[in-house]
Amino acid sequence: MPQSTIGNFTYLFLKELVEQKQNKPTKSTLYLYIYHLFIYNLSTLLTRYNPYLDNFDLPIWYIFQKNKLKFRTDKENMLDNLIFVGSQELYNVMFPNGNTLKNKDIKKDFGINENKIIGFMRPFINEWAQAHFNSRKGMFDEPALENSNVSFDNAFKADINVWDNKVNDPLKWTELAVPTGKVTSQGIPVIDKNNSASYSIQKYLGNNWGNHRGFSLDLNKKFTIADVSNQVATVWEDKTKPTDLKREVENILSIYENLDDSKKCIADLFAGSGSLNLPPPGLMFIVGNMMSQKYQQNIIDEINMYFVLASGLLDASIAAWWYKAKLRQARPVNTIRHFYKGKSIKSWTPGKGTQNIDGGAWLPYQTLTFVTPPFPDMASGHTVFSTAGCKLLQWWFNTDIFYDGFTLVTIPNANLISNTLDQSQKLTLIGEFCIRQNKSEIEQTGTPAKDFKLVVKTLTELYQLCGISRVYGGIHYQNTNELSQTVGISVYENVKNKLNNIGFRSPYQ
């Protein structure tokens, strides 16, 4: 299926986030929200829809132009021009030091006939782009956590002793000292406290969001997302509760006794942590793009769908990082290395496969210079993002079906999803992901042993796979994954209710 103009420019924007090094979970959700809110608001000049005014006023020129454009017959071309000019002007505001749309020509570079009316509107569009960015730019400037008083228990202080498991509270997340690549003959990374070149210190990644509101959330007034805090495993052993950290760790260790190619490929595919890849928010936009191609949406419906998705993923980001800040739950690498030090465990080991190791040397299925994300465990961003995103796409298209066995969709840049995918294949069956032999990001040779095809039949299966991938990757506990699905569904319900309240409807209902 061919890409629409907004589909093409959405891919361009996702690629721009990677090139500008803004492809991190919280930052990318905010950029995507501002971009798609702006394009949606511009599109309402030519439709019956009303703009969504969020922290800024409707400019006088908008009312004048909307009335003037009401009876135009060339609205499709005008809309293509609005998408191009709007994108170009917002890029210049967001990325003033250079971007891929700077000095691009609409006809020469994109094959769109230039519309002079939209060209005359460029100064006004630039002004409105600045207003959209200014309305949210404060969220880019959150204070460092050390200076925050929003549920952070003072600060997250990096400690080189974390690697040796000598921390005051092993159940609370602390920035890790991360090895820079040197390993022992057994494949275990080395950190030499006397050699600073052998390690780097993680820095907490993410906005605290505490002083800002999302689309349907306002933390200053009331946090309306389901609070599952009392169900989170936060103590090592407590037989009076359905689960505790010891049982969660035992589940991960049982998986790591036989970490087969299937689990490795799922962990690799959905990781989204490489410098050239997108985290789950970006993946959800690619999935939305695929669904739009499948149902051959008209361009207005597609613009509206991206606005819905962007709104939900911003709230998903806020909800997930609210939990991270509130609970400061330790990651599996923290708890396993602490409580199993001196004990022999059978586990996957970097470059060596499954072998018996000291539990104090356990590592998740990640690259040696990454180890684990620089923020707490609960909630799982992967799970909250993918659950909220897939549920919103289910609502929008009124179906759970993803793979159908015959619909071909265009993926201009598969690398945005994962380096494990065939980069030369621009057309693929929707819901089918083919991971090539020896393309593992973590184990460059021998994994997978042969081409691995993952067929995802439903959107529900997609968000379940995205969530469980982090358990296979040794990044999250299963309890975290399950509760994060509850949080993601709650985000979806909040966003859907807000959309209904402002009169927004899916055309497929």
**pLDDT digit string (tens) for 209-239?**
655 678 998 766 666 788 899 999 999 999 9
Return the pLDDT at 168: 62
Encoded tokens for 453 = 């095809």
Return the pLDDT at 157: 36
- Kindly tell me if the per-residue pLDDT of 333 is higher than 50: yes
H-helix or E-strand spanning residue 318: helix 299-327
Return the pLDDT at 197: 78
* C-alpha to C-alpha distance for 247 and 214, rounded to whole angstroms: 35
Mean pLDDT of 415-426: 86
Are 315 and 385 within 8 A, CB to CB?
Answer: no
Q: What is the pTM of this model?
A: 0.93
Please provide the average confidence, as pLDDT, over all residues in the chain: 88
Q: Measuring CA to CA, which residue among 15, 24, 139 is closest to residue 373?
A: 24
Return the pLDDT at 226: 81
Confidence band of 147 (pLDDT split at 50, 70, 90): very low
Return the pLDDT at 383: 98
Mean pLDDT of 43-48: 94
The residues, ordered by sequence, that sit 6+ positions from 28 with a Cβ below 8 Å of its Cβ are 17, 22, 278, 279, 281, 282
What angle is formed at CA 204 by the lines to CA 223 and CA 318, rounded to 5 degrees? Answer: 20
Mean pLDDT of 244-256: 97
C-alpha atoms less than 13 angstroms from C-alpha of 471 in its C-beta half-sphere: 21
CATH number at 145-209+242-501: 1.10.606
Return the pLDDT at 189: 66
Return the pLDDT at 160: 37
Mean pLDDT of 176-205: 72
Q: Which of 193-202, 279-288, 389-398, 470-479 has the lowest mean pLDDT?
A: 193-202
- Kindly tell me if the per-residue pLDDT of 149 is higher than 70: no
Better-predicted residue by pLDDT, 334 or 163: 334
Q: Where in the chain is the domain with CATH 1.10.606?
A: 145-209+242-501
